[in-house]
């Protein structure tokens, strides 16, 4: 598909795992152990890094031994962190070949290859059997997906009856067209922001029951204002996954993301939904 090829081209660069490990050594010393906590700011590729993942797992509540699916798993940071902290098995599916390679190298480096499996593939045709997972999550992915109903239908198919899906979605705000480039898209051609109402309607149409649905935009914008001012003043930003993955493009993209949230051009929705049944 043309959109998927464009999205993978936007994200993919060579040598990501080596850059992440170099950033870890730079921050924590040449002999720093490679742990999920040490890597967390560097391998979780979404706004607010590990803090956002902690909010998502508070909704999802993974249980020891559960089989989890991470849809759009990036370089695998959230999957490794959740597998290690909650003693569960996580399968990550992602479109971008360079991200899957980096995820596998970092699984090796953290000793988590038995617990975290990475499959290169599309969220719109998940390469997993029906009903194979107890729970699933997707963090900052659907803004690259034009056909969101198909995305949610695929997640629904992959879950067992009673299975949960936790989402952290960037949605369209009421403040006008977002500024581009942003970390997920250079232009609007590969950015697809649904409104929160459209997100809710698609989830219901896919068959899910809505357990929790919250707009966290205002709380996030308040916390991020100082970060934007520092970036705009040219202060060196703390190393985060976005800057390791996207390189020099990242500063402008991060500033635009922060402005989009502050000005209500994007909304951040966290949701927990459930596939009916036991």
- Interaction site with ligand SAM (CB under 6 A): 4, 7, 11, 44-46, 72-74, 77-78, 93-96, 99, 122-124, 139-141, 144-145, 184
CB of 54 to ligand SAM, least distance (A): 13
CB of 47 to ligand SAM, least distance (A): 9
Q: Which residue is nearest to ligand SAM (CB)?
A: 74
CB of 181 to ligand SAM, least distance (A): 13
CB of 184 to ligand SAM, least distance (A): 5
Put residue 58 in one of left, alpha, beta given phi > 0 → left and psi -120 to 50 → alpha: alpha
CB of 88 to ligand SAM, least distance (A): 17
CB closer to ligand SAM out of 20 and 209: 20
Nearest in space to 140 (alpha carbons), one of 209, 191, 210, 205: 191
CB of 138 to ligand SAM, least distance (A): 7
Q: What SS3 state is found at 71?
A: strand
Rounded Cα distance between 81 and 26, Å, is: 21
CB closer to ligand SAM out of 168 and 221: 168
- Show the tokens assigned to 265: 């051009």
CB closer to ligand SAM out of 36 and 93: 93
Whether 81 and 40 have beta carbons less than 8 Å apart is answered as yes
CB closer to ligand SAM out of 152 and 184: 184
Please give the backbone phi and psi of residue 51, each rounded to the nearest 5 degrees, phi first: -65, -40
CB of 197 to ligand SAM, least distance (A): 22
CB closer to ligand SAM out of 5 and 210: 5
Rounded Cα distance between 264 and 244, Å, is: 27
CB closer to ligand SAM out of 23 and 93: 93
Whether 49 and 38 have beta carbons less than 8 Å apart is answered as no
Q: Is residue 100 exposed (0-12), middle (13-18) or buried (19+ Cβ within 10 Å)?
A: buried
Rounded Cα distance between 120 and 244, Å, is: 21
Say how many C-beta atoms besides its own lie within 10 A of residue 167's C-beta.
Answer: 26
CB closer to ligand SAM out of 162 and 168: 168
């Amino acid at each position: 598909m043309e959109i998927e090829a464009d999205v993978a081209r936007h994200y993919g660069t060579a040598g990501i795992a080596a850059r992440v490990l170099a950033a870890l050594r730079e921050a924590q010393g040449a002999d720093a152990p490679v742990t999920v906590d040490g890597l967390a700011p560097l391998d979780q590729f979404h706004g607010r890094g590990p803090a956002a993942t902690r909010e998502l797992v508070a909704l999802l509540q993974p249980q020891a031994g559960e089989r989890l699916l991470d849809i759009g798993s990036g370089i695998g940071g959230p999957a490794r962190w959740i597998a290690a902290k909650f003693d569960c098995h996580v399968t990550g599916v992602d479109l971008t070949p360079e991200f899957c390679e980096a995820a596998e190298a970092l699984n090796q480096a953290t000793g988590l290859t038995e617990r975290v499996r990475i499959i290169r593939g599309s969220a719109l045709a998940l390469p997993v059997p029906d009903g194979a997972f107890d729970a699933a999550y997707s963090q900052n992915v659907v803004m690259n997906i034009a056909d969101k109903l198909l995305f949610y239908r695929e997640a629904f198919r992959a879950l067992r009856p009673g299975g949960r899906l936790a989402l952290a979605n960037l949605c369209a705000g009421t403040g006008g067209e977002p500024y581009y480039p942003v970390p997920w898209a250079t232009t609007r051609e590969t950015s697809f922001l649904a409104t929160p109402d459209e997100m809710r309607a698609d989830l219901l149409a896919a068959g899910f029951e809505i357990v929790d649905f919250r707009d966290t935009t205002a709380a996030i914008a308040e916390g991020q204002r100082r970060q934007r001012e520092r970036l705009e003043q040219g202060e060196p930003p703390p190393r985060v996954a976005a800057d390791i993955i996207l390189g020099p493009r990242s500063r402008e993209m991060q500033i635009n993301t922060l402005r989009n949230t502050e000005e209500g051009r994007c909304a951040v929705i966290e949701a927990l939904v459930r596939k009916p049944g036991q």
